[in-house]
Structure formats: structure tokens, C-alpha cells
Chain A
Amino acid sequence: MALVEVKQITKKFGAYSAISNVSLTAQDGKFLILLGPSGCGKTTLLRMIAGLELPTYGDIVIGGKVATRLHPKDRNIAMVFQNYALYPHLTIYENVAFPLRVRGFSGDIDKKVKWATSLVGIEHLLERKPRQMSGGERQRTALARSLVRDPSVFLLDEPLSNLDAKLRHSAREELRQFQERIGVTSIYVTHDQVEAMGLGDRICVMQGGVVRQLGTPEEIYLNPADTFVASFIGSPPMNLISDEGRTIGFRPEMFLPESAFDPSEALYRTEFTVQRIEYLGGDRILYGMVGASLPSSKAIARLPATIGTLPEVGTTAKFAMRLSDIRYFDGEGKAVEQSRRHEARLVVNG
């Protein structure tokens, strides 16, 4: 178990900067998620922590020791790759035993392998070769191999992206329980925000090689630091409406027919012209245009099934949201600070 600190890391490939001056800390025993669209530098950052890439500038500190120039094998880290990187010529047993053997482990290898494989529930498959296993079993093997030698940091590079949707859900669940049980500092790369929200103690949202926001899933969802985070997190994303050099944001599930609110609440009222309704079982997604006091622009509303009456397509209905649910962003897309929000709210109401 160890603290991982990334200090002012920059990585350049030729003239292109994949990562620009990123600093962050993965807390001891916690689950940190690196989240971002493809090409945002999250995998490059993970590979630098693993020692597979050398940062152009900056330092990586693992467990209080500067590890920037250490060879991967000397960092006591474990990594699960996107394609699991199981050795095809070795059996599952030998795959799991591999890290122990190459490190000249002096104890009982057999006992350790049995322990690791039973933790992930593949102890009955030890004689198979990787290609005789299903995707889920391979993923478990990769997990078993990475934890067999008690690493101090656990790195995971989109380990669930090769699984089908249903399996991915249960694997996510297991992964989280598993991490809590062994309590190893984990850094997890993904582009899937659902995975990130479900797994992470903290999420680091990256884009274009910089950190856009670092916080708990709640913080990131409720108070996005800028319009990128606001539109990247949430499905459907936050409605963003530009108005006189500012941007107003509100979550689709907070944007409901006026009748759904208690009239005594502080509401912001507007009109919503419904253009299309998507039925998703538990929810209905309404696509349309807001108008009235706001500049006319596209918006999405997400209505839970508990709201019985839906506006017809093509009609304009009275919609509203709580004033406390509205977020404001300045001209550059940065979130407006709490103290300045009051002022901005008055402007909207006026």
C-alpha cells in the first residue's frame, strides 16, 4: 500500500504534448479513476506511473520514493492491461505463478497461486491455456496474476472494456468489493463514466492532456468545474445554454414539468417545446427547445416514470427547475464560484 504522487508531469511525443503539467495524488488504499475521452492522455499517464514511459518533465513518487526513473520491475506495482496480456504459451497456473517465479519468490508458490486464484474464483481452471477461457475468466486471471505478489499499487487500464455489457456490470461490482477487501491503492483508467462513477473514491477528469477536475463522484456530478466536465459526465449530459457571455447549466433530471414541484420552492420557470420523446422504461427522455426567459436553444429533460402525464410532442409546456440546481459558467467555460453565484442568479431572474 502506498501513496502515489504525480508531480507536474509533462509528456511530449515530438512536438505534441500528450500530458501538460499534470499533478495529482492517489491516496493510500483508495480507488482513483482517470476518466476522459480517448486521446486525453489518461493511458499515457498510467503508463508513466507503471514505468513503461518516461515523463519528459516532472516526477512520480510512489510510497515516498522518487520512482521516475525506476525500472517497472522495481516499483512494486501491478497492472491489468486492456487485453489482459496473459501469456498465451503458459497455463493459467503458470501465468499466475509467473511474477513469483521471475522474482525468485522463496516461499510456497503453490499456496500463493491457489490463494490468488480462489480469491477471483478461477481455481478450477488452472490447467487451461488463456485461449480456452472466456473473456470474464481471462479478466479474473489477469487480476489474480497482478495480486499474487502483494503489490503496493494496482494499475488498471480499461480492464472491463472487452467484456459484454451484462458481464461488465457484475465484474465492476466484484472489482469494487475486491479492492475494498485487499485495500490496495488503485488507479483505474476508463472512458466510461458509468464505470468511473460506480467504482471510484475519487475521479480525475482529463481532457487534452490536462486535469479538468479532481473530486469525488458526487462533486464532479453536482458541481462540474467547467463546461467540458458538465457535458462529459451524465447521460444525457447537462443542458448548457449560452446567454450573454455566460453559460447556464442544469441536469436533465432536474428539469421537470412545473406541476412536479412544490409551489413553495424557489423555482426558475421557463417554457419547453417538446420535439421528440424517447421511452427508456424507467425514464422518458424529452428532446426539445427551451424558450421564454432563456435564449431559445436545445435542451433535454429526463422524466422519471413517477410523473404520469407527459406533454404531447409539438406542444409547449411549463417546465421548471430549482434555483439551487442551476450551475453557472463564465465566458471561458469555468464554473462560477459559490460566492459569485448569488449575483449571477439575480441576473437570470431579472
Chain B
Amino acid sequence: MSTTELSLAGSQPGGLGRYNRQAADLHYVTSRVMVYLLAFTAVSVIGFPLFWMVICSFKTSTELYQFPPAFLPHDWTLTNYRDLFIQTNFPIYFVNSLVVAGGATLLSLVVGGLGAYSLSRFKFAGMRTVSMLTLLCYMLPEVLLVIPLYLFVVDLGMADTLISLIIANTAFTLPLTMWFMRSYFNAIPASLEESAMIDGCSRFQAMRKVTLPLALPGLVSVGVFSFNHAWNEFLFALVFTSSETKKVLSLGLATWIGQDNIYSWGMLLAGAVLVTIPVVLFYLLVQRRLVVGLSEGGVKGE
């Protein structure tokens, strides 16, 4: 990029200019090598298990147990997927998971977003305490909360319902949502809303027409975070739900890994692939906004 500029800067009579260029080239090459090494490590550590999972979900059961294992399946088969839908409750788990993760995401965006907005824009008594307390909540581990929460859930008659999972997951992601969105709202100048109010908006309209569109990358980031958390969540699901029709994916798949034997590796892997797909799709969908949201952490008002 800057090799020519560098050599120009040092283009004294004699070999100085050339020496600079060599140094710059060397620097460029080594930094490239480092970047690719890092990328390769990341891809192999994260990517290979994914690859293996996808490949094996298309193998027949004999091939799965074959030693030494073959890289690519000899006969590509969809039996695992077919069995998954016919023999198991996988579709029910899947829908339950979508309901829980979607509900928790929506709820934590609405509640967390509004809460963060008021923490950022208004002044009220005990504001500092409230915001510190929310952060404290986030530091408590799930294990600590799960039993007391279960008692509440039973008392409220919500045991073995998806609603209880939505609420519990929301409660867990809410503090982070609020803190992240608060700093995001803080970075959006209040004068934009004031200007909108003078231009003819009510406060709510000003928030909806001006602040929310600007906060969209932040909302997307916390949305992805909430969705992911709820999608992967296991402990609450294990304690709060018991009947087969109320199980979510993480719990359902885990019960297939029995005490002494695996029910079917092929179906388990096919299930794992299908669990991964929504998350990957969701990421791809919002990727551009997510990158902006995480790296900028705010928008300049002008």
C-alpha cells in the first residue's frame, strides 16, 4: 500500500530509497503471513468440527463406525434426516426452540431497548443504582438462580411451559442488552431528537423516526446475542420443562445421548446440523449490521 510513498520519502541519491522499499516489502510479507496463519488456525479449530459434523450426517451407520474413517462418505444418504423427522420429536423441539429464542429476543429487545433509552435520556432518582443493579444481575451464574426461579415458576403455575423459558432467558440477557444499548443511545446526540420534536414529533415519534433507525446496528447486535443465548440455553430448559412436547432442541438432543449408549450417531449429527443452520442463517442475514454495530459502538450525529 505505502511502499511507493515510503521509497519516495527516502529517495536520497544513493541506495537509501531502495533499502526503504525492501524493508517495507519485508514488513508487508511478514504481516501477511501472520494474518494467514492466524486465519488458518481459527478456521481449522472452528471449521473442521463443523465440516466433520456435516459430512458425517450424510454417512450410513456402517460408514460412521468404520475404521479408519473415510473423509468423504462413500454413499451419500439422507436416511439420517428422514429418520430424524419420522422417528423422533425433532420437529417439535425445533419449533419450541424457535418460539423460545424468538420470544426471548423480541422481549429483551423491547424491554431492554426501552429501558436503555430511558436510562440514557432521562434523569430520575436512583438511576445509578438501577443501572448498577442490572449489571450485578448479569454477574450471577445461572446455577445460582435456577432453583429459586423454579419455585417461582411452579408457584405461578408456569411449570412445563415455553413462556417460563422465554421469561427466564430474557431475564438473563436483559442486563447486557440494557448496558450495550445504553452506551449506544448515549452515542446518538440528544439534539437529533430535540430537533425532531421541534420539527413536529412527539417524544415517542422522535424516538421511532430518528433514534431507532440510528440504533439499528446496536439492536441487531444484541438481538443476535439474545437469540444465540436462548437457542443454546440448556439449564433452564432442563429444570423448567419435562414433557416431551415442551422440550427445546438443546434439551431434546442431549437426552438422546443416553447413559450407556448413543441412540443413533447419524440422527444426532443430522440434528446438530439442523440446529446450526438457523443460527448461521441469522448471522448471515444480519452480518453486515452486526460488524458495524460491534466495531463502531455508536454513530456520529453529523
Q: Is B210 an interface residue (CB 8 A)?
A: yes
Contact with A along B173-208 (1 / 0, CB 8 A): 000000000000000010110111111111001000
Q: Is A84 an interface residue (CB 8 A)?
A: yes
Assess whether B302 is in contact with A138, with CB atoms less than 8 Å apart. Answer: yes
Interface centre among B191, B213, B299 (most CB of A within 10 A): B191
Assess whether A88 is in contact with B300, with CB atoms less than 8 Å apart. Answer: yes
Asked whether A85 and B214 contact (CB < 8 A) given A73-B202, A131-B302, the answer is: no
Contact with A along B200-239 (1 / 0, CB 8 A): 1110010001100110000000000000000000000000
A137 to chain B, nearest CB (A): 12
Residues of B within 8 A of A166 (CB): none
CA distance A101 to B130 in the complex (A): 38
Q: Which residue of B lies closest to A80 (CB)?
A: B195
Residue pairs across A and B with Cβ atoms less than 8 A apart, 26 shown, are: A50-B198, A51-B197, A51-B198, A52-B198, A72-B194, A72-B197, A72-B198, A73-B197, A73-B199, A78-B199, A79-B194, A79-B195, A83-B189, A85-B191, A86-B302, A87-B195, A88-B214, A88-B300, A89-B214, A98-B209, A99-B200, A102-B196, A102-B199, A102-B209, A131-B302, A145-B199
8 tightest A-B CB contacts, nearest first: A85-B195, A99-B199, A103-B200, A102-B200, A85-B191, A72-B197, A73-B200, A72-B198
Q: Is A342 an interface residue (CB 8 A)?
A: no
B205 to chain A, nearest CB (A): 6
Assess whether A102 is in contact with B213, with CB atoms less than 8 Å apart. Answer: no
Residues of B within 8 A of A86 (CB): 302
Assess whether A88 is in contact with B299, with CB atoms less than 8 Å apart. Answer: yes
Assess whether B213 is in contact with A81, with CB atoms less than 8 Å apart. Answer: no
A333 to chain B, nearest CB (A): 36
Contacting B at CB under 8 A, from A241-292, are none
Assess whether A83 is in contact with B205, with CB atoms less than 8 Å apart. Answer: no
Which residues of B pack against A, CB within 8 Å? 189, 191-192, 194-202, 205, 209-210, 213-214, 299-302
Assess whether B302 is in contact with A83, with CB atoms less than 8 Å apart. Answer: yes
Assess whether B197 is in contact with A71, with CB atoms less than 8 Å apart. Answer: yes
Q: Is A41 an interface residue (CB 8 A)?
A: no
A341 to chain B, nearest CB (A): 46
CA distance A75 to B194 in the complex (A): 13
Asked whether A85 and B192 contact (CB < 8 A) given A71-B202, A102-B205, A130-B302, the answer is: yes
Q: Which residue of A lies closest to B193 (CB)?
A: A85
CA distance A289 to B301 in the complex (A): 50
Partner of A81, one of B195, B202, B209, B299: B195
CA distance A75 to B200 in the complex (A): 9
Assess whether A81 is in contact with B196, with CB atoms less than 8 Å apart. Answer: no
CA distance A86 to B197 in the complex (A): 13
CA distance A340 to B213 in the complex (A): 64
Assess whether A81 is in contact with B300, with CB atoms less than 8 Å apart. Answer: no
CA distance A72 to B191 in the complex (A): 13
Q: Which residue of A lies closest to B210 (CB)?
A: A87
Q: Is A77 an interface residue (CB 8 A)?
A: yes
With A73-B197, A73-B201, A98-B209 already in contact, 19 other A-B pairs whose C-beta atoms are closer than 8 Å: A52-B197, A73-B200, A77-B198, A81-B191, A83-B191, A83-B302, A84-B302, A85-B301, A87-B192, A87-B195, A87-B196, A87-B210, A88-B301, A89-B213, A89-B214, A103-B200, A130-B302, A138-B302, A145-B199
Q: Which residue of B lies closest to A79 (CB)?
A: B198
Residues of A within 8 A of B194 (CB): 50, 52, 72, 79, 81, 85
CA distance A74 to B209 in the complex (A): 18
Q: Which residue of A lies closest to B201 (CB)?
A: A102
